[in-house]
Amino acid sequence: IDRALRSRGAGARQADRLLADVRAELEALEGMLVRPVRGALGFRDRLLIVPHGPLHLLPFHALWNGRSHLIEQHEVLYAPSASLYAQLGEPSRGPRARRAVVVGVADPTAPQIDAEVRRVAERLAAAGADTLLGPEATADRVVPALEQAGVIHLACHARFAPGTPLGSGVRLADRWPTVRDIYALKLDADHVTLSGCETG
Q: For position 80, what pLDDT does the model report?
A: 76
What single-letter DSSP state applies at residue 110?
B
Return the SS3 of 29: helix
pTM of the model: 0.58
* DSSP secondary structure letters along 129-150: EEEEEGGG--HHHHHHHHHT-S
179 vs 64: CA distance, rounded Å: 30
Q: Which long-range contacts (CB under 8 A, 24 or more apart) does 52-61 make?
A: 54/162, 56/80, 56/162, 56/165, 57/162, 58/29, 59/1, 59/200, 60/33
Residue 140 has pLDDT above 80, yes or no: yes
**Pick the residue with more confidence: 97 or 171?**
171
Handedness of CA 85, 87, 93, 97 (dihedral sign): negative
* pLDDT tens digits for range 15-42: 788 888 889 999 999 999 999 998 888 7
* pLDDT tens digits for range 147-181: 989 999 999 999 888 788 888 999 999 999 998 89
Return the SS3 of 75: strand
**Percentage with pLDDT > 90 across the chain:** 40
* Contact predicate 2/57, CB 8 Å: no
> CB count, 10 Å around CB of 91?
11
